């Protein structure tokens, strides 16, 4: 027993140098040696706990436990005397804890990544099953490189779900007024004209609320098709969705639909300028590259020819009116009268004059309810109403590209559809 006690004394004394505060001894201690051992601890001013055959030493004065490296050797030297000696330091515990945290974190990150990849694949699989194919567009940067092909159209991937799942089932009302177009065809111009014709040219009313609220964009998340469903009649609805993808009720309910088209050369230049104005567009190619994508139908809502042709085929329906940007430009009053007649309205000469003035390019550029200045956050530079001309394409497109775009127009001529571009 004396030997045992002295060994303990020696053990503790020797180990004062250790920077350890927990020892676990897996030997079975004799009952009376425990008391000696505890006394021994106390005499060294070391606080410890002995539970079964496990020993924890706590609150050892750290200043005298400096030589951590000696721990294994000293511990090993007791291996013969004791069945097994294990030691643990605070650093070991911290290291183990860190290792465990790192393991859990990596497992969690791995699980999140796997789930994300899984969702992506599942999303693609579901899209394929519904006839949607994701295609990558060159020069578009990471954020914009994907567009979705659905029933022959290139749709913005962020809007595809809405266009495919919700728009076909949107509830149409017979007294709705719709403006449908390929982007950059003069949609906003037409919207303002239509709104004013239907509201007895109440310019103050039109200026009081921005066009996005008065005449919401159907497939866009703001305000969103659900909000449009709740709007009071008569509703004014803008959309770029082509005829073949519009709500099924459109035929049956026969609301007034005005389609505006613009020559493809000015459309492509206006579209690129518009996209470059936004913070979210990361196209790195040239105007020529973009025009090439336009010809291939790989720009939003493309192909242009299919979009325009579907509307042209509907032109003889009583509830459909087909007009062009060039008509509005060259004969504003004549075209507005035609639109008013279609909407069942008559404009007086002063009203027509005031409307022409209100809807001039300059006045609309300065009018904060139609110039999209409220969407400041999304514009890099430039103005939504950029040039407002016919023939601006001549400053941007090469003769070779112009010839390619001409073939798009000539492909429509057999159907009786013609465009002027200067």
Quote the CA–CA distance of 323 and 315 in Å, as a whole number: 9
Backbone phi, psi, residue 107, to 5°? -65, -40
| Cβ-based nearer residue to ligand A3P, 152 or 388 | 388
Please state the closest distance from residue 131 (CB atom) to ligand A3P, in A: 28
d(CA 329, CA 422): 11
C-beta closer to ligand A3P: residue 187 or 335:
187
Q: How far is the CB of 338 from ligand A3P (least distance, A)?
A: 17
Query: CB 252 → ligand A3P: shortest distance, Å?
Result: 28
Radius of gyration of the chain (CA): 39
Q: Which is nearer to ligand A3P, 60 or 323 (CB)?
A: 323
Q: Do the beta carbons of residue 73 and residue 63 sit within 8 Å?
A: no
State the nearest-atom distance from the C-beta of 287 to ligand A3P, in Å: 13
Contact 29, 22 (CB under 8 A): no
Task: Centre a 10 Å sphere on the Cβ of residue 28 and count the other Cβ atoms it contains.
Answer: 10
**Could you give the CA distance from residue 373 to residue 302 in angstroms, rounded to a whole number?**
27
- Cβ 373 to ligand A3P shortest distance, Å: 14
Please identify, using beta-carbon distances, which residue of 4 and 384 lies nearer to ligand A3P: 384
Smallest distance from the beta carbon of 118 to ligand A3P, in angstroms? 39
- Select 176 or 392, whichever has its Cβ closest to ligand A3P: 392
Distance spanning both ends of the chain, measured CA to CA: 113
Q: Which residue is nearest to ligand A3P (CB)?
A: 388
Pairing of strands 22-25, 85-88: antiparallel
Q: Which residues bind ligand A3P (CB under 6 A)?
A: 181, 183-189, 266, 270, 273, 359, 361, 364, 385-388, 392
Compare residues 75 and 180 and give the one whose CB is closer to ligand A3P: 180
Which phi and psi angles does 223 have, rounded to 5°? -75, -10
Closest CA to 180 of 268, 262, 264, 257: 257
SS3 106: helix
Report which DSSP code applies to 165. Answer: I
Residue 359, C-beta contacts closer than 8 angstroms, at least 6 positions apart: 189, 192, 193, 196, 332
DSSP label at residue 384? S
Q: How far is the CB of 366 from ligand A3P (least distance, A)?
A: 11
CB proximity list for 297: less than 8 A, separation 6 or greater: 153, 154, 303, 304, 305, 306
Tokens of residue 274, six digits: 């518009």
Q: Sign of the C-alpha dihedral, residues 229, 232, 237, 242? A: positive
Nearest to ligand A3P of 301, 342 (CB atom): 301
- Is 11 or 182 the residue whose CB approaches ligand A3P more closely? 182
Closest CA to 209 of 191, 190, 185: 191
Token pair 């949609």 in the structure block, residue? 187
Distance of closest approach, residue 185 Cβ to ligand A3P, in angstroms: 5
For the annotated catalytic residues, the residue numbers are 240
């Amino acid at each position: 027993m004396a030997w045992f006690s002295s060994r303990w004394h020696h053990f503790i004394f020797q180990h004062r140098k250790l920077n350890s505060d927990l020892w676990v001894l897996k030997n079975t201690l004799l009952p009376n040696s425990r008391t000696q051992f505890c006394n021994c601890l106390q005499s060294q001013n070391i606080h410890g706990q002995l539970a079964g055959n496990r020993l924890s030493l706590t609150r050892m004065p750290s200043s005298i436990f400096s030589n951590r490296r000696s721990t294994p050797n000293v511990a090993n030297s007791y291996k013969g005397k004791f069945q097994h000696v294990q030691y643990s330091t605070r650093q070991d515990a911290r290291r183990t804890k860190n290792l465990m945290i790192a393991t859990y974190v990596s497992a969690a990150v791995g699980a999140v990544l796997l789930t994300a990849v899984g969702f992506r694949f599942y999303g693609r699989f579901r899209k394929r099953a519904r006839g949607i194919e994701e295609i990558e567009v060159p020069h578009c940067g990471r954020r914009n490189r994907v567009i979705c092909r659905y029933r022959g159209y290139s749709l913005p991937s962020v809007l595809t779900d809405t266009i495919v799942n919700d728009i076909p089932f949107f509830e149409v009302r017979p007294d709705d007024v719709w403006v449908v177009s390929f982007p950059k065809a003069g949609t906003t111009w037409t919207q303002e004209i239509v709104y004013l014709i239907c509201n007895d040219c109440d310019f103050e009313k039109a200026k009081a609320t921005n066009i996005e609220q008065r005449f919401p964009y159907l497939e866009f998340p703001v305000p969103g098709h659900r909000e449009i469903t709740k709007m009071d009649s008569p509703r004014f609805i803008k959309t770029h969705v082509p005829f073949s993808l519009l709500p099924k009720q459109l035929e049956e309910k026969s609301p007034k639909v005005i389609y505006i088209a613009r020559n493809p050369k000015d459309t492509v230049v206006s579209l690129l300028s518009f996209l470059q104005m936004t913070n979210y567009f990361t196209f790195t190619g040239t105007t020529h590259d973009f025009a090439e994508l336009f010809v291939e139908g790989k720009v939003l809502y493309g192909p242009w020819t299919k979009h325009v042709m579907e509307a042209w085929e509907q032109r003889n329906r009583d509830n459909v009116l087909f007009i062009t940007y060039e008509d509005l430009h060259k004969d504003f009053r004549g075209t507005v009268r035609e639109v008013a007649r279609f909407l069942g309205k008559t404009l007086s000469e002063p009203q027509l004059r005031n409307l022409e003035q209100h809807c001039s390019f300059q006045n609309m550029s300065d009018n904060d309810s139609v110039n999209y200045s409220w969407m400041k956050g999304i514009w890099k530079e430039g103005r939504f109403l950029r040039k407002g001309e016919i023939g601006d394409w001549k400053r941007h497109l090469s003769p070779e590209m112009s010839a390619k775009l001409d073939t798009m127009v000539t492909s429509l001529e057999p159907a009786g559809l013609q465009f002027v571009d200067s």
